[in-house]
Amino acid sequence: MDLKNDIEENALEIIEAALADPVRVLREEGVKLSLYQFLELFWDEVSVDEFKGNWHVLKLCQELEVIARRVGSNTPKKHDLIINIPPGTTKTIICSIMFPAWCWAEVGYWMRFITASYSATLALESAEKSRDLIRSDKFQQLYPQLGIKDDKDTKSNFRCTKKDYVHPGHPPRILNGGNRYSTSVGGTLTGFHGHILIIDDPLNPQQAASEKELETANRWMEQTLPTRKTNKSVSATILVMQRLHQDDPSGRLLEKKKAKIKHICLPGQIRDYSDFVRPEAMKHHYVNDLLDPIRLGWEVLNELESDLGQYGFAGQIGQNPAPPGGGMFKIDNIIVADTMDVINSIVRSVRYWDKAATADGGAYTAGVKMSILKNGKFLVHNVVRGQWNTDKREAVIKRTAETDGMLTRIGIEQEPGSGGKDSVQASIRNLAGFSVSADRPTGDKIFRADPFSVQVNNGNVIMMAGAWNKAFVDELEMFPNGTYKDQVDAASAAFTMLAGKKMVRIIR
């Protein structure tokens, strides 16, 4: 009986000690931490937010561990890894901040890393947090043998060191270990090699809308990065990103090297995106069709859809970056106002012109007047549209401005090239005395129309009754597959002017 009590008291003391100082107990017992355990233990060293676990966090940690263990044992890799997951799901903390530090602590201090993001600022921020973690008191208590080399200590390139106690009672020998080199996608990598290459968000949404930026990122991923591996048969590439375009780095690599890549694809919800889950067996982890009910509940997702638009939401949340097909605008949700009462609640108004230079039956010039109302809804007053030569078009634009009045701001699309600049400057001179500005839109027409379509589909757009209604609504209904897109272009740009926000929202 006394022995049993002694055992129970001893166990209680161990438990109390572990609760009071878990790091000391882990060190004394020589416990090896999994990446998930490491993440949970050191979370408060890199984030002020409370740690919130979820099944996807454990899954990502397990997948990264598999890669690290094979590299650590110099075993030929089975695959590179692509992770497609929505922003706001802890992907950067797991992959770019915690993972390299855990590898040095639990796998091999000699491992070399190359890490990159779409901007150098983001890449360096993750590197700095990882470096600060290693320097933290908690980390040093558990891994006192590891440190950062004094003369190799910058955010862009720092080296791990290890204390080697060869002779008891004598100062340790300092062994130089692996390094972490961080850069932007497209940046220089000459002279650097890595056992593990981590690319975290190689593009942002604005870059994905630019063919030039998209091609730059793909070329760097395909031609520069593969040459930076220390051992082509062992070194692994980890690409983690939200889908932004059909031909983004994820799409390109999956098309070219599908058999050599393990693809983890986790949409934010599976009511609409069930077909895109990879591996499919992961669907059973979803709760109420949600990947992460705590971080990305339905209320949050609905707000994101309003902010991102259909196109942006499908890519960033659904991991399906295909442009919406016909039916992008739910025209039955447009409210028709047949009285002038709504005019009394106007906050501000704009008229946006999408110009065409011909009068031969080709493209139309369209000017859409739109206002934002006190209740947050948007009112389309009218559309002025026609096929005019240059002189006639400029006369119509000026006459319309005079009718709209001085309080209506004017936006005019500037086409690329010197001709587009000359044309918009001529229009601005023609409108001297009015509040007018040139606009240089980016991205394709679907991308630009996306935010406006969300407002239409949610019943937030009112249209004044008029003879122009049918042509306007017909174009919305057929977009993007209709013959003409000038009214949609002008309306979408007018909405963007009123909303006062970027065409896309970047979330991480």
* 79-104 confidence digits (pLDDT tens): 999 999 999 999 999 999 999 999 99
Q: Are residues 238 and 134 in the same domain?
A: yes
Q: Are residues 352 and 472 in the same domain?
A: yes
User: Which DSSP category does 75 fall into?
Assistant: P
CATH code for the domain in which residue 193 is found: 3.40.50
Mean pLDDT of 257-271: 93
The pLDDT of residue 324: 66
The pLDDT of residue 326: 61
The pLDDT of residue 504: 41
Q: Are residues 222 and 87 in the same domain?
A: yes
Domain boundary residue, one of 265, 285, 310? 265
Least confident of 312-316, 343-347, 365-369, 441-445: 441-445
Q: Are residues 223 and 88 in the same domain?
A: yes
CA neighbor of 470 nearest in space, from 313, 334, 324, 303: 334
CATH code for the domain in which residue 443 is found: 3.30.420.240
Is 94 part of any domain? yes
Q: Are residues 247 and 338 in the same domain?
A: no
Q: Are residues 216 and 341 in the same domain?
A: no
- The β-bridge partners of 348 are 372
Q: Are residues 246 and 99 in the same domain?
A: yes
Q: Are residues 247 and 358 in the same domain?
A: no
Model confidence at 502, in pLDDT bands (50, 70, 90)? very low
CA neighbor of 77 nearest in space, from 197, 175, 172: 197
Model confidence at 212, in pLDDT bands (50, 70, 90)? confident
Is 190 part of any domain? yes
Q: Are residues 57 and 158 in the same domain?
A: yes
Is the pLDDT at 3 greater than 70? The verdict is: no
Range of the domain at 335: 331-499
Mean pLDDT of 440-455: 87
Upper half-sphere CA count for residue 131 (Cβ side, 13 Å): 24
Considering only CA atoms, give the Rg of the chain: 29
Domain boundary residue, one of 249, 265, 281? 265
Is 234 part of any domain? yes
- pTM of full prediction above 0.85: no
Is 276 part of any domain? no
Is 353 part of any domain? yes
* 272-303 confidence digits (pLDDT tens): 999 999 999 999 999 999 999 999 999 999 99
Is the pLDDT at 378 greater than 90? The verdict is: yes
Q: Are residues 390 and 470 in the same domain?
A: yes
**Tokens 């992907």, residue?**
91
Q: Are residues 145 and 240 in the same domain?
A: yes
Q: Are residues 244 and 386 in the same domain?
A: no
The pLDDT of residue 506: 40
Is 17 part of any domain? no
- The β-bridge partners of 162 are 146, 175
Number of domains in the chain: 2
Mean pLDDT of 414-431: 88
